[in-house]
A = this chain, B = another copy of it.
Amino acid sequence: MSKSVFYHAGCPVCQSAEQDIIALIGKEKVEIIHLGEEKNKIQEAEKHGVKSVPALLTPNGNVLHLNFGASMADVKG
């Protein structure tokens, strides 16, 4: 199984969800991407269907938006 990707932007909701996801899935199975620090990955995230952060892109290409931290517009600032 390939990795999931957890997109976040450093917000408190993101950090809480990140801890939960790592505990649930296992650190080695999730790639963590901070879109506030890696703005070049925002386009890729949007292409996958990410509309807000935190969000988890599953290995089969589905996006799970976890609670609501910030919209992609906010992330782009």
How far apart are the CA atoms of A20 and B65 in the complex, in Å? 12
Q: Is A58 an interface residue (CB 8 A)?
A: yes
Interface size, A (range): 10 to 19
Give the 9 A-B residue pairs with the shortest CB-CB distance, closest first.
Answer: A64-B66, A20-B58, A20-B62, A65-B67, A24-B25, A20-B64, A64-B67, A17-B64, A24-B58
How far apart are the CA atoms of A64 and B58 in the complex, in Å? 15
Could you list which residues of chain A lie within 8 angstroms of chain B, going by C-beta atoms?
A: 4, 16-17, 20-21, 23-25, 29, 58-60, 62-68
CB distance from A6 to the nearest CB of B (A): 11
How far apart are the CA atoms of A68 and B52 in the complex, in Å? 12
